[in-house]
Amino acid sequence: MSLLITGGTGYIGSHTVVEIQMLAASEGKEWDIVIVDDLSNSSTKVLDRIKQITSKSVTFIKADVCDYDAMNTLFEQYDIEAVIHFAGHKAVGESSEKPLNYYHNNVSGTVTLLRVMELHKVKKLVFSSSATVYGDNISPLNETMSTSATNPYGQTKLMIEHILFDLAKSDSDWSIACLRYFNPIGAHHSGLIGENPNGIPNNLLPYVAQVAVGRLAQLQVFGDDYDTVDGTGVRDYIHVVDLAQGHVKALQNLDKITGCKAINLGTGNGTSVLEIVNTFKEISQQDIPYKIVPRRLGDLATVYANADLANELLVESNKKFTNDD
């Protein structure tokens, strides 16, 4: 049996591949991993680095999840048992500038994937959702809260969640973990993989790192007039390896889920932009010049998780969950 990982050469996807391979090796098991990625924001160099870390190769197919024929061919060629779906555009600011790109790539791509999965009777899915679906709810955010979105990126994730819940209600054979995660940060301890986006980074830490090494002149801090500890936005920064391990746990526990279940992946703690910058500066002994610029459209002051359900379902409990829980 094979595991399909869409967007598997990306930041979170590549770390998840590593964690799956390492876990399988420690348990004397083996997953045949198939990665599909269009390489719009990643590189095939990641495949070599995954092999360096794990001593195992993966199958790579360059394709767009929006391409029905390509995806159908993939499922015909490989005996796929389950899917982890990362592929999608992910920049909040860019989504407000190019909403059609986001709705097409994220929503249409997921519908195409689901249609092909249904055709081939593959009904186990771990989906990469986002805390943006909580809209302007007050933190800590928990899975029982109402959902909404303040930007097109968040809207795409919310639309996909609605699709997944409707699909699971229509067919009880589906087992879907819908992981709402917060702000990934950091890199694998080997230093071989991490967040290295094409162009100017959209996320905080790679932006800070590129300023530290002189690749960029200064960091842009979007707003210093929020009602927070220092006026800058507060987010729940979760280490990418912890996040990847959360995906592995979700994959392992899909049999406990009947239907579709939303699960937060976060630390439960908030940290401001300037707290991150000052900590990086202190540890690296590098100056991080920054400039305060206007808030970004759709950004919120404070966002952090209640992670109780993840601990209960993915770590501590043998409880089964259904759509009604």
pLDDT, the chain, mean:
92
What does the pLDDT average to over 15-20? Answer: 96
Burial letters for 105-125: b for 16+ Cβ neighbours within 10 Å, e otherwise? Answer: bbbebbbbbbebbeebebbbb
Q: For 119-173, how does the pLDDT look when each residue is reduced to its tens digit (9 = 90+)? A: 999 999 999 999 999 999 999 999 999 999 988 999 999 999 999 999 999 999 9
Above 60 in pLDDT, residue 302? yes
pLDDT at position 321: 47
pLDDT at position 31: 80
pLDDT at position 25: 74
Q: For 25-66, how does the pLDDT look when each residue is reduced to its tens digit (9 = 90+)? A: 777 677 899 999 999 989 999 999 999 999 999 999 999 999
What does the pLDDT average to over 234-244? Answer: 96
* Sheet-wide strand order for 32-37: 59-62, 32-37, 2-6, 80-85, 124-130, 175-181, 259-265
pLDDT at position 300: 86
pLDDT at position 317: 52
Neighbour-count burial of 319, counting CB atoms closer than 10 A to its CB (0-12 exposed, 13-18 middle, 19+ buried):
exposed
Q: Which residues pair with 36 in a beta bridge?
A: 6, 61
What does the pLDDT average to over 85-104? Answer: 93
CA-closest candidate to residue 247, choices 88, 20, 6: 20
Low-confidence winner among 46-50, 197-201, 258-262, 316-320 (lowest mean pLDDT): 316-320
Residue 237's alpha-carbon distances to 149, 185, 201, 223, 309, in angstroms, are 20, 6, 16, 18, 18
Our answer to whether residue 153 is catalytic in this structure is yes
Q: Which of 11, 102, 134, 153 is catalytic?
A: 153
**Structure tokens given for 121:** 């009777």
pLDDT over 90 percentage in the chain:
83
What is the signed CA dihedral for 176, 323, 144, 238, rounded to 10 degrees?
Answer: -20
Above 60 in pLDDT, residue 324? no
Domains in the chain, ordered, with CATH? 2-185+237-266+305-316 (3.40.50.720)
Above 80 in pLDDT, residue 1? no
Q: For 276-286, how does the pLDDT look when each residue is reduced to its tens digit (9 = 90+)? A: 999 999 999 99
Residue 117 to residue 102: CA distance in whole angstroms = 22
Which spans in the chain are helix H? 11-26, 45-54, 68-77, 92-97, 99-102, 109-119, 152-170, 204-212, 240-252, 273-284, 308-310
Pairing outcome for strands 271-272 and 234-235: antiparallel
